[in-house]
């Protein structure tokens, strides 16, 4: 008589930073992906405690985050900033929770995996803390994964077009309010960003490193992409720009391969690849757009063509758009949790 093992009980899940932009998307992702959970605990600052947030037809009260918040928790999603993660993630891990952290706190720690499941699920191991990448690095490596698995990539060069969602609810609201003021010909003083956001573009607002001239966002993209692809010396050049879009980031990308790879082979590599959708209709000039990527779980890929500026014929150019709040943050975190359950 064969006795089947009993299924593992559904995990007790907590979300730290539940009332922020990514926290709210985490709740939606858990529901839309039908994530199996035994209970859900929503955590935030004292200012947000007491609010009710909807989940699967019920209202769940938001509790204040304390050092005792992780009793009985199996999986803890963190999306409340690096300082909160540095303080409370080790406490959650010590209480027995597996932590999936969306901040920058642990991404470049050597013994903590930085994971995009489509690109490096094999990096997941029996770790108590797992880092969720920077939004651009996550979207980028989903698009690179099917190519990286087949061919040797020797250089990446890109410019990014980053939406307000990367700065959270406050930045999204500043874009909304600034746009209304601009259209009404009213004065508006930005509070979140250093420059007017409506009908404007400017360099990403992270601090500039005086030694390299790169800003903090650009340095994150370089370091994290190398770690995810396990290519620590990969040459990467990136310029990160804020654009007045509410959500979904764009990337104009050039990929240099060790040898020539034809465009048809690249298109073939994307067929059936997880997490991507090719939008490349040259006849109708229809390519990836933030308006279509917003709310879409896939990374959209188009403008796939040979780089005429490379006489060696080894460079391919494309345009990528992905929802920062989904694949760039909340969805990727939930996919990591799904992978953990599969390994259990």
Backbone angles phi, psi at 157, to 5 degrees: -140, 135
Look up residue 216 and give its two tokens: 């903090």
Beta strands 276-278; 299-306: pairing state: parallel
Alpha-carbon Rg for the chain, nearest whole angstrom, is: 21
Look up residue 117 and give its two tokens: 């499941």
Q: Where are the beta strands (DSSP E) in the chain?
A: 12-16, 39-44, 52-55, 58-64, 75-78, 98-101, 129-131, 153-162, 202-203, 236-242, 249-257, 276-278, 299-306, 315-322
End-to-end Cα separation, the chain, in angstroms: 25
Beta strands 315-322; 249-257: pairing state: antiparallel
Q: If you count DSSP H runs as helices and E runs as strands, how many of each does the chain have, helices first?
A: 9, 14
Catalytic residue among 29, 135, 148, 204: 135
Alpha-carbon distance of 266 to 302, in angstroms, equals: 11
CA 227-323-114 angle, to 5 degrees, is 20
135 flagged as catalytic? yes
Q: List CB contacts of 248: < 8 A, sequence separation 6 or more.
A: 163, 165, 290, 291, 293, 294, 321, 322, 323, 324
240 flagged as catalytic? no
Nearest to 22 by CA among 134, 190, 179, 141: 134
Look up residue 152 and give its two tokens: 């040797």
Distances (CA, A) of 108 to 154, 220, 221, 225: 22, 9, 11, 11
Catalytic residue among 29, 148, 240, 249: 249
Kindly list the catalytic residues: 135, 249
């Amino acid at each position: 008589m064969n006795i089947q093992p009993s299924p593992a009980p559904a995990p007790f899940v907590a979300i730290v930073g539940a009332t922020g932009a990514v926290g709210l998307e985490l709740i939606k992702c858990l529901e839309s992906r039908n994530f199996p959970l035994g209970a859900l605990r929503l955590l935030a600052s004292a200012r947000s405690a007491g609010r009710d947030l909807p989940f699967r037809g019920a209202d769940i009260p938001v509790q204040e985050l304390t050092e005792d918040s992780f009793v009985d928790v199996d999986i803890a999603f963190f999306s409340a900033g690096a300082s909160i993660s540095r303080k409370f993630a080790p406490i959650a891990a010590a209480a027995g929770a597996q932590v999936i952290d969306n901040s920058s706190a642990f991404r470049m720690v050597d013994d903590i995996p930085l994971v995009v499941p489509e690109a490096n699920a094999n990096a997941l191991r029996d770790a108590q803390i797992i880092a969720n990448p920077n939004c651009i690095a996550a979207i980028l490596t989903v698009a690179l994964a099917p190519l990286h698995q087949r061919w040797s990539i020797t250089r990446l060069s890109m410019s990014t077009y980053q939406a307000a969602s990367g700065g959270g609810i406050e930045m999204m609201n500043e874009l909304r309010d600034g746009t209304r003021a601009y259209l009404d010909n009213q004065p508006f003083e930005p509070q979140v960003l250093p420059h007017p956001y409506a009908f404007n573009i400017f360099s990403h607002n992270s601090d500039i490193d005086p030694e390299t001239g790169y800003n903090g966002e650009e340095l994150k993209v370089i370091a994290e992409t190398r770690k995810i692809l396990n290519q620590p010396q990969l040459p990467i050049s990136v310029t990160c720009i804020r654009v007045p879009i509410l959500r979904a980031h764009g990337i104009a990308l050039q990929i240099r391969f060790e040898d020539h790879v034809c465009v048809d082979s690249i298109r073939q590599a994307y067929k059936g690849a997880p997490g991507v959708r090719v939008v490349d209709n040259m006849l109708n000039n229809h390519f990836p757009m933030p308006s279509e990527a917003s709310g879409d779980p896939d990374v959209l890929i188009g403008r796939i063509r040979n780089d005429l500026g490379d006489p060696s014929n080894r460079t391919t150019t494309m345009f990528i758009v992905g929802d920062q709040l989904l694949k760039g943050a909340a969805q990727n975190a939930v996919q990591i949790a799904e992978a953990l359950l599969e390994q259990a």
